[in-house]
Structure 1
Amino acid sequence: MKYSKESLCEQMDMVRQALYEVSITLEDEERDKEKILNVSRKMDELILEYMKFGKED
């Protein structure tokens, strides 16, 4: 998947917000660990894409 720098920043903001929302949910035993992992993986993917922009510039 190819992102523009602007769309990548928007995606990172959305994922960061989702990660925050998941991280503050209820008690530890009620947290959706799979969702947290999925959101974390997505953030990692976006960070790697973002890092590519620095190498291309």
Structure 2
Amino acid sequence: MAGTLWFFNNHLLLLYKIQPGEDPMLVSLLSTEFWVQVHDIPPGLMTEAMAQQFGNS
């Protein structure tokens, strides 16, 4: 489970190892962090605002 994201049919799978005594119904699997690489952005558009727009979508 460690070290990489898991995908199935182009869908991101969120995995979580249940700890002893933990209630699986209370585990929040709503989000995860991952990197996105974008190629060929013109130099004038490589701004923090543009990065925010990518992140928001």
Same fold (TM over 0.5): no
TM-score normalised per structure 2: 0.25
- The structure in which a higher percent of residues are helix is 1
- The structure in which a higher percent of residues are strand is 2
- Higher RCO (Cα < 8 Å, 6 or more apart): 1
TM-score normalised per structure 1: 0.25
